[in-house]
Structure 1
Amino acid sequence: MFIDETWIKTNMAPLRGWGGKGERLRAYAPHGHWRTLTFLGALRCDRLTAPCVLDGPINGESFRAYVEQQLVRVLRPGNIVVMDNLGSHKSPAVRQMIR
């Protein structure tokens, strides 16, 4: 399974858009409450498992919590876990939990 994460910042909301002719364009975006949301997941050849949304950017502590609370539950003997080169993935504690 492949482990990866992606993020979005709430200040990335578009400020302009297209609306119908003569109609006001109505859209909503958070104002003054900018934050980062991170989505993590484990992609298998047939499905996505262990999805998780974190309120904030990924760091070593939050990734270890994800592995401990979400990923370890879906791992079975013989599974191969592939992660990218992110620093929080390289922790000996993460490696031990996955093994």
Structure 2
Amino acid sequence: MRAFCFFDDICSHTVTLFCHSPNSIIDESGVNLGMTRLRGRAVRGERLYDSCPRNRGSNISLIGALSLDGLIATMSLPVRVNTEVFLTYVQEVLLLQLWAGAFVIMDNLPVHKADATPASPTVRDA
């Protein structure tokens, strides 16, 4: 029980720190535009008529930074996210939207670990 209480103290402290500091979180996602439901619903006793794409859709990658104020820097592109794309996003989109003293939190995706990734977003004069 003591470990649980200790964990609660750490979590509440972490949440308090996050809510009172200017943080932003970067995450990536992908979607296929040809995805469609295979089943549907209709009124009892009636047949369901619907259509779906004939060809496979294209893939779209989304990169975004989320802060307490909402989305601050988003980019969508029709290619997968690699190191070059991520560095372009950081330099051309994210750094233009950040403010002085902002912290950027990233997950452990290998493209985030590039040698050219700035150690802090304060490289730019905010």
Normalised by the length of structure 2, the TM-score is 0.65
User: 1:65 & 1:48 partners in 2: Cα distance?
Assistant: 18
Q: How many residue pairs are counted as aligned between the two chains?
A: 98
Gap regions ≥5 residues in structure 2: 1-23
User: Following TM superposition, by how much is the alpha carbon of 1:11 offset from its aligned partner in structure 2, in angstroms?
Assistant: 4.4
Gap regions ≥5 residues in structure 1: none
| Structure with the larger RCO, 1 or 2 (CA within 8 Å, 6+ apart) | 1
Provide the aligned C-alpha RMSD in A: 2.1
Per-residue CA deviation, residues 55-99 of structure 1 (Å, 9 max, x unaligned), is 122111111121122101111221100000001111122225833
Aligned equivalent of 2:98, options 50, 69, 75: 75
- Contact kept? 2:27, 2:106, Cα under 8 Å: yes
Structure 1: which amino acid aligns with 2:33? T
User: 1:12 & 1:28 partners in 2: Cα distance?
Assistant: 9
Q: Which structure: larger Rg?
A: 2
After the TM superposition, which parts of structure 1 deviate over 6 Å for at least 4 consecutive aligned residues?
Answer: none
**1:14-29 matches, cutoff 5 A:** 14-21=37-44, 22-29=46-53
Identity %: 31
